[in-house]
Amino acid sequence: MADSLYLELADFVHMVHTGIYSEETGRPQPLRFTIRIKLKPIARYEADTPLDASKNYMDLKFAASEALPEGVHFKLIEAVADHICETLFLQDERVEEVSVKIVKLALSVGEEQIGITLTRERR
């Protein structure tokens, strides 16, 4: 059985221009992201294994914030997730799979979570 390595950013909130309803357009709204990537692991991780043997976790946060094009309004959060997937695949050829969960906080009431999860394997 082969090893698997998953890196995850959970519950990261960022303001994004998205939505189709009049109350959503023209201003950003808060989205909660959980991003999980499957990375090709090396044979063994020792105490002194350098960072480049894995991936910087901050790259996941970057893909859901600074890497989103400024001034672009995404009608669908699916398009936001798609952009994040493509950003992470382009950053590192060792990324085998990306899963992006997005919750639209402005639509949530109480503890419910309304959103999507897009999982994409490298093509």
**Second-level CATH architecture of 5-121:** 2-Layer Sandwich (3.30)
On whether the CB atoms of residues 80 and 67 are closer than 8 A, the answer is no
Domain boundaries, the chain: 5-121
Q: Give the pLDDT confidence score for residue 24 in this predicted structure.
A: 82
With CA atoms as reference, report the closest residue to 101 among 32, 20, 38. 32
pTM for this model (two decimals)? 0.93
> pLDDT digit string (tens) for 33-75?
999 999 999 999 999 999 989 999 999 999 999 999 988 999 9
Lowest mean pLDDT among 5-14, 49-58, 76-85: 49-58
